[in-house]
C-alpha cells in the first residue's frame, strides 16, 4: 500500500507541475475560452483511475457492484447558482458537469440522471433511495440523520463586489472596508457576516440583487457583500469581485449520500482527496477568473481609439526579476510586469512591440520616454521627477531597496542616516536616488551605469556601500556569485510602488485610464507570487550552474590535451615526412591542411571560453559544434585523403554556429547548396577557410556587421564554390600579397588553399573585391565521384 501512495503522490506532483501550471501560463487568448478551460480539466481526469485510490477489499467489492448497476445523480441543480450549473451559448460548463464527468472517469462508473425540483427534493430522494449521491453547497451546519456529507471538494469564500473605478487588493482590504457602508445579500445570520472583523462597518440587507446594485450605483452603499451564488449576476452588472478571506464563513462544495451507504461515502472521500478535489477546485477558480475577464466593459469610442493608436513601442528592463527579465532560452521577455501587461493588452485589444536594447543604462531608458522615443517603459516606480515628464498607471506591486556592503564590513547599518559620511554607490536613474540624495551629499555618491559595474565598484572598495532593489540583488547574488557581498539594511523609509510609465501625450493619457480599469480585472498578487523565487531555489540554480561550468572546464581541458597531442603528432609526422622524398608533394599538402586546423581550433576555443563565464548553456552548445568539427578533422588523413562535399559543409556549419553565437545579430549567413554535389569528393578544408576569412576579415570588421553567403553548384565538369560577403573588402594589391603569402595574418587560409590547388589539375581560385563593398571568392574543383 505504501508503494501505491508513492505512485499517487508522484502523479499529483506531476499534475500540479504540468497541467495545473499550464493554467497559470495559459495565454490570455485561451484563458477566456470556457471550452478550453473545461477540456483542459476534463482531460486531466484521464490521468486517474480507481487503481490510483488506496481502496480496501470491501470497498473494491462494493465498487464492482456499483459499476454493474451505476449511480443515480440529480440533473439541473439550478438552485445552486454561481458556476455550478453554468451555461454559455447553449453549452454546459458547470462545476457539477465536470464533477460528474470526473467521477465517471476516476471510478469507472456509469451515471444515470434524475430530474429534481428543489434542494428539499434532493434530500428526500437521497433518503428514499431514488438518488445515490448529489452535489450540494453547504452554507451552514445542518444535521440530517439520514444523510452523510463528504469531505469538501472545493471551498468558496464570500465576495466583496465593487464598481470599476476602485481598486482593492488583499493588502488594502482592511483599510478600504473600514467605516464603509456594505450591502448584504443572501446572508442568513450574523455568523455568516465575515466582515465582523472590520471596524465601523454599517450593514444594509437586500433581498433583491437589483436593489443592491441600484443602491451601489447611487452611492447609498460603498460595497456589496455576497456569496459566490451571485457572482455571475453581479459581474454582469459591470462590477468587480474580491474574495474576503474568513474560514468561519466559507461555502463548501460537497457530496451527500444516504446514511445506508457508508462504503460509497468512504470511496468518494478517497477519490475527492486524491483526484476529484484538486481538479474541481482549480477549475472553479479559473472559471471565475475567465468570467470576470470576459466582462470587461469598453465603449465603441474606446475600442476605436485603441485601434487608431497602432503599435505601442514598449521597452522592458532585462534584469529586474521577478517583475521583468529576458528569458534567453525562450527568446522573449517574462516576469510579473510582462505577464500583467500582456494580459491587459489582450483584454483591451492593444497592439504593441517590445523594443530590446540591453546596452542602454536605466537612466537612458527613462530618457527615451522623456524624449518620446518610446511609448511605454516598465517596471518603474513613481518619483516626483518622473511625474513631471511622464504618465504613470496605478501601482501593481510594491518593493523595497536595501543597503549592500562587503561581507567583511564590520559596520552593520540600521538607518540610512548612518551612510551620511560614507561613499555610496547607486545605478544612474534608479528611483531610490531622489530619497538618498536628500540624506547624502551628491559628492559622496558614485553613479554607476549598470548593476554589474556597481557590484564591481563595491568589490574593489571604490565605495563603502551600494543601494539595490532587494529582489534584484537576491537574483544577482547567486547568478553572479556575489558571495563576498551582503544585505545589511532594508530601506523601509522609502517603499517603491511599481507602475507602467508612458510618454506624456494626450493619446497615452487616454490609454492609461483604460489600462487602469483593465488592471482591476487581474489578481496582481497571484501574478507576482508566481515569479518570486525562494533563496533555496536560487541556491540550487547556482549549484547547477557551477556544475555545468565545471563540466565545460573539464571538457575544454580534454580538448586542449587532444589538441596538444595533435600538434605533437603533426610535428613528428612532418619530420618523418622529410625523409621520404617520394611523398614530398603529399606531405606538403598535409602540412598546409594542418596549418589551418590549429588556426580554427584556437578561434573556436576562444569563443567557447568567453561564453563559459556568461552563458553556460550556450557554451555547451558550442562545445557540441566543436566536437563535430573534431570528429570530422581527426578522422581525415592529412596525407591527401579526399572527403565528400557533404562532410566539408558539415564542417563549415559547425564553424558558423560558433561564430554566429559570438557575433550575434552582426553576422548573418546564407547557404545555397545544390544537393547533387554533396557526394562529390574534394580535398578537406578547402571551403571552411574561405568562409572563415569572409567572416573574420570581411563582415565583422564593419560596425554594423553583414552577411556571408555560400553557394555550391555544378558547372560543367566542375563544382563551382562561391563565397560572397558584404564586408570591408580589399584592394587588388592586398589580394596579390595574400596569394603570394606576404599578408600572412589576413590570408592564412586563402594562401594555403591557393598553394594546395597547385597540386591538383583543373582547379581555379579567383578573388574579386572592392574596398568598402565586399568580396567574392570563386573556387572551381573537378568532379570526383564517391565510389
Co-location of 631 and 764 in the same domain: yes
The percentage of residues in the chain with a pLDDT greater than 90, rounded to a whole number, is: 39
Q: What is the pLDDT of residue 509?
A: 96
- The residue with greater pLDDT, 351 or 579, is 351
- Is the four-CA dihedral 328, 330, 331, 333 of positive or negative sign? negative
- Whether the predicted pLDDT of 81 surpasses 90: no
For residues 174-196, average pLDDT: 69
Residue 152 within any structural domain of the chain:
no
Residues 708 and 632 in one domain: yes
Do 119 and 75 sit in the same domain of this protein? Answer: yes
Compute CA distances 319 → 64, 137, 596, whole Å.
Answer: 58, 47, 41
Place of cell 556544475: 547
Domain shared by 288 and 230, yes or no:
no
Assigned domain for 729 exists: yes
Q: Are residue 29 and residue 122 in the same domain, yes or no?
A: yes
182 and 328 share one domain: no
Q: Are residues 720 and 660 in the same domain?
A: yes
Q: Is the pLDDT of residue 777 over 80?
A: yes
In this prediction, residue 456 carries a pLDDT of 94
Within 8 A by CB and 6+ apart from 481, the residues are 542
In 233-388, which ranges are E strands?
A: 240-244, 251-258, 312-316, 319-320, 324-327, 332-334, 352-354, 376-381
Query: Which pLDDT band holds residue 28 (cuts at 50, 70, 90)?
Result: very low
Are the CB atoms for 163 and 233 separated by under 8 Å? Answer: no
The DSSP letter of residue 785 is: B
Position 71 scores a pLDDT of 96
The reply to whether 146 falls in a domain is no
Domain co-membership, 372 together with 489: no
> What is the CATH classification number for the domain harbouring 14?
3.40.190
Contact 252, 152 (CB under 8 A): yes
- For residue 171, what pLDDT band results from cuts at 50, 70 and 90? low
Instruction: Quote the pLDDT of residue 195.
Output: 65
Lowest mean pLDDT among 67-71, 637-641, 743-747: 743-747
pLDDT at 585: 47
Per-residue pLDDT, 709: 96
The pLDDT assigned to 626 comes to 77
Give the pLDDT band (50/70/90) at residue 640.
low
Which has more pLDDT, 760 or 338?
Answer: 338
Q: Would you say residue 18 has pLDDT above 80?
A: no
- 634 lies in the same domain as 760: yes
- What long-range pairs does 609-613 form, CB within 8 A, spacing at least 24? 609/556, 610/662, 611/661, 612/549, 612/552, 612/553, 612/556
Q: Is residue 11 part of a domain?
A: yes
**290-294 long-range contacts, Cβ below 8 Å, gap at least 24?**
290/31, 290/32, 290/33, 290/34, 290/37, 291/83, 291/231, 291/232, 291/235, 292/235, 292/240, 292/241, 292/521, 293/28, 293/31, 293/32, 293/347, 293/521, 294/32
User: Coil, strand or helix: which one is 737?
Assistant: helix
Provide the pLDDT for residue 19: 41
Give the pLDDT score at 553.
74
- Residues 533-563 have pLDDT tens digits of 766 766 666 666 667 666 777 777 787 787 7
CA torsion 693→699→702→703, rounded to 10°? -120
- Note the pLDDT tens digit of each residue in 385-433: 999 999 999 999 999 999 999 999 878 888 899 999 899 999 998 989 9
What is the Cα–Cα distance from 483 to 477, expressed in whole angstroms? Answer: 7
The verdict on 412 and 554 lying in the same domain is: no
Average pLDDT over residues 782-787: 67
Return the ∠ at Cα 338 (arms to 393 and 619), rounded to 5°: 145
Average pLDDT over residues 67-96: 89
pTM above 0.85, yes or no: no
Q: How confident is the model at residue 77 (pLDDT cuts 50, 70, 90)?
A: confident
In whole angstroms, give the CA distance from residue 461 to residue 405.
10
> Is residue 486 included in any domain, yes or no?
yes
Judge whether residue 356 has pLDDT over 70. Answer: yes
- What is the spatial distance between Cα 603 and Cα 597, in angstroms, rounded to a whole number? 10
pLDDT for 59 beyond 90: yes
CATH number where 527 lies: 3.40.190.10
129 pLDDT more than 60 = yes
- Domain, as residue range, for 512: 300-397+498-533
Average pLDDT over residues 128-155: 84
pLDDT at 215 over 90: yes
- Give the integer Cα–Cα distance in Å for 374 and 390: 11
What is the mean predicted confidence (pLDDT) over 297-312? 92
CB 332 within 8 A of CB 342: no
Q: How far is CA 334 from CA 197, 260, 343, 546, in A?
A: 39, 55, 12, 24
Model confidence band, residue 523 (pLDDT cutoffs 50, 70, 90): confident
What is the model's pLDDT at position 353? 95
Q: What's the rounded Cα separation, in Å, for the pair 11 and 670?
A: 47
The per-residue pLDDT for 576 is: 63
Kindly indicate the confidence band of residue 25, based on its pLDDT and cuts at 50, 70 and 90.
Answer: very low
pLDDT for residue 268: 95
571-623, pLDDT tens digit by residue? Answer: 777 666 555 544 544 455 455 445 445 656 666 777 777 777 667 777 777 78
Report the pLDDT averaged over residues 81-100. 90
The structural domain count of the chain equals: 5
Strands (E), 373-515: 376-381, 390-392, 397-399, 401-406, 424-427, 445-448, 465-469, 485-490, 496-503
Same domain, 109 and 52: yes
Higher pLDDT, 742 or 756: 756
Say which CATH number the domain at 650 has: 3.30.565.10
* Residue 776 forms part of a structural domain: yes
CA pair distance 218, 212, nearest whole angstrom: 10
pLDDT given for residue 5 in this prediction: 47
pLDDT value of position 603? 66
* pLDDT higher than threshold 70 for residue 104: yes
So what's the pLDDT on residue 776?
95
In a domain, 606, yes or no: yes
Rounded to an integer, the average pLDDT of 736-753 is 65
Mean pLDDT taken over the chain: 83
Domain membership of residue 595 (yes or no) is yes
pLDDT, average across residues 641-660: 86
What confidence score (pLDDT) does residue 189 get?
53
Per-residue pLDDT, averaged over 68-82, amounts to: 88
If one compares 313 and 575, the residue with the highest pLDDT of the two is 313
Tell me the three state secondary structure of residue 586: helix
Give the pLDDT band (50/70/90) at residue 636. low
Residue 177 has a pLDDT of 79
Give mean pLDDT, residues 305-318.
Answer: 95
Place of cell 430522494: 125
Regarding whether 56 and 7 lie in a shared domain, the answer is yes
Measured from the Cβ of residue 510, the count of other Cβ atoms closer than 10 Å reads: 15
- Distance CA(646)–CA(682), nearest Å, equals 10
Amino acid at each position: 500500500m505504501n508503494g501505491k501512495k508513492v505512485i499517487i503522490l508522484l502523479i499529483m506532483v506531476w499534475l500540479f507541475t504540468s497541467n495545473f501550471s499550464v493554467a497559470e501560463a495559459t495565454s490570455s487568448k485561451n484563458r477566456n475560452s470556457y471550452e478550453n478551460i473545461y477540456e483542459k480539466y476534463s482531460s486531466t481526469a484521464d490521468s486517474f483511475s480507481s487503481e490510483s485510490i488506496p481502496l480496501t477489499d470491501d470497498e473494491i467489492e462494493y465498487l464492482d457492484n456499483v459499476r454493474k448497476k451505476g449511480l443515480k445523480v440529480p440533473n439541473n441543480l439550478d438552485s445552486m447558482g454561481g458556476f455550478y450549473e453554468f451555461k454559455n451559448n447553449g453549452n454546459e460548463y458547470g462545476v457539477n458537469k465536470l464533477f460528474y464527468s470526473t467521477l465517471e472517469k476516476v471510478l469507472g462508473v456509469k451515471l444515470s440522471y434524475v430530474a429534481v425540483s428543489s434542494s428539499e427534493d434532493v434530500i428526500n430522494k437521497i433518503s428514499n433511495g431514488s438518488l445515490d449521491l448529489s452535489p450540494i453547497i453547504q452554507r451552514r451546519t445542518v444535521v440530517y440523520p439520514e444523510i452523510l456529507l463528504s469531505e469538501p471538494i472545493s471551498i468558496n469564500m464570500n465576495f466583496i463586489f465593487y464598481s470599476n473605478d476602485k481598486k482593492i487588493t488583499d493588502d488594502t482590504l482592511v483599510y478600504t472596508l473600514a467605516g464603509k457602508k456594505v450591502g448584504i445579500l443572501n446572508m442568513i445570520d450574523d455568523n455568516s457576516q465575515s466582515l465582523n472583523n472590520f471596524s465601523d462597518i454599517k450593514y444594509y440587507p437586500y433581498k433583491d440583487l437589483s436593489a443592491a446594485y441600484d443602491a451601489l450605483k447611487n452611492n447609498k452603499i460603498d460595497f456589496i457583500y455576497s456569496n459566490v451564488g451571485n457572482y455571475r449576476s453581479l459581474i454582469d452588472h459591470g462590477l468587480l469581485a474580491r474574495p474576503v478571506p474568513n474560514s468561519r464563513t466559507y461555502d463548501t462544495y460537497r457530496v451527500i449520500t444516504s446514511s445506508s451507504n457508508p462504503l460509497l461515502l468512504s470511496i468518494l472521500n478517497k477519490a475527492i482527496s486524491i483526484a476529484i478535489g484538486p481538479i474541481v477546485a482549480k477549475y472553479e477558480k479559473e472559471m471565475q477568473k475567465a468570467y470576470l475577464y470576459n466582462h470587461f466593459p469598453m465603449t465603441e469610442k474606446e475600442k476605436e481609439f485603441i485601434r487608431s493608436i497602432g503599435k505601442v513601442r514598449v521597452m522592458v528592463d532585462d534584469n529586474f526579476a521577478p517583475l521583468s527579465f529576458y528569458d534567453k532560452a525562450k527568446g522573449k521577455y517574462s516576469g510579473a510586469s510582462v505577464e500583467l501587461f500582456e494580459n491587459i493588452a489582450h483584454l483591451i485589444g492593444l497592439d504593441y512591440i517590445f523594443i530590446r536594447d540591453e546596452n542602454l543604462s536605466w537612466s537612458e531608458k527613462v530618457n527615451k520616454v522623456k524624449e518620446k522615443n518610446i511609448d511605454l517603459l516598465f517596471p518603474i516606480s513613481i518619483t516626483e521627477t518622473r511625474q513631471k515628464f511622464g504618465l504613470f498607471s496605478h501601482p501593481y506591486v510594491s518593493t523595497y531597496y536595501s543597503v549592500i556592503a562587503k561581507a567583511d564590513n564590520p559596520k552593520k547599518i540600521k538607518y540610512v542616516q548612518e551612510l551620511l559620511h560614507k561613499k555610496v554607490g547607486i545605478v544612474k536613474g534608479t528611483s531610490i536616488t531622489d530619497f538618498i540624495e536628500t540624506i547624502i551629499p551628491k559628492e559622496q555618491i558614485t553613479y554607476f551605469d549598470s548593476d554589474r559595474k556597481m557590484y564591481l565598484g563595491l568589490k574593489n572598495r571604490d565605495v563603502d556601500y551600494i543601494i539595490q532593489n532587494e529582489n534584484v540583488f537576491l537574483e544577482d547574488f547567486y547568478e553572479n556569485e556575489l558571495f563576498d557581498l551582503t544585505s545589511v539594511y532594508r530601506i523601509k523609509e522609502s517603499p517603491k510602488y511599481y507602475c507602467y510609465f508612458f510618454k506624456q501625450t494626450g493619446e497615452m493619457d487616454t490609454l492609461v485610464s483604460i489600462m487602469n480599469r483593465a488592471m482591476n480585472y487581474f489578481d496582481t498578487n497571484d501574478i507576482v507570487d508566481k515569479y518570486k523565487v525562494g533563496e533555496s531555489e536560487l541556491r540550487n540554480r547556482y549549484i547547477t550552474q557551477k556544475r555545468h561550468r565545471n563540466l565545460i572546464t573539464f571538457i575544454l581541458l580534454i580538448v586542449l590535451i587532444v589538441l596538444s597531442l595533435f600538434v605533437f603528432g603533426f610535428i613528428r609526422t612532418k619530420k618523418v615526412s622529410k625523409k621520404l622524398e617520394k611523398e614530398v608533394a603529399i606531405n606538403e599538402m598535409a602540412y598546409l591542411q594542418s596549418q589551418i586546423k590549429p588556426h580554427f581550433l584556437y578561434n573556436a576555443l576562444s569563443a567557447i571560453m568567453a561564453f563559459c563565464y556568461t552563458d553556460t548553456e550556450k557554451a555547451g552548445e558550442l562545445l557540441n559544434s566543436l566536437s563535430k568539427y573534431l570528429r570530422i578533422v581527426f578522422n581525415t588523413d592529412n596525407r591527401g585523403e579526399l572527403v565528400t562535399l557533404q562532410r566539408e559543409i558539415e564542417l563549415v556549419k559547425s564553424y558558423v554556429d560558433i561564430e554566429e553565437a559570438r557575433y550575434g545579430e552582426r553576422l548573418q549567413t546564407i547557404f545555397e547548396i545544390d544537393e547533387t554535389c554533396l557526394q562529390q569528393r574534394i580535398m578537406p578544408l578547402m571551403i571552411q577557410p574561405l568562409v572563415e576569412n569572409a567572416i573574420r576579415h570581411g563582415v565583422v570588421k564593419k560596425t554594423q556587421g553583414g552577411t556571408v553567403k555560400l553557394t555550391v553548384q555544378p558547372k560543367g565538369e566542375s563544382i563551382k564554390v562561391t563565397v560572397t560577403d558584404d564586408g570591408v573588402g580589399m584592394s587588388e594589391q592586398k589580394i596579390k600579397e595574400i596569394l603570394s603569402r606576404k599578408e600572412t595574418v589576413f590570408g592564412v587560409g586563402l594562401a594555403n588553399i591557393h598553394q594546395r590547388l597547385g597540386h591538383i589539375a583543373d582547379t581555379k581560385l579567383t578573388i574579386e573585391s572592392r574596398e568598402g563593398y565586399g568580396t567574392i571568392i570563386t573556387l572551381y574543383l573537378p568532379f570526383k565521384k564517391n565510389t
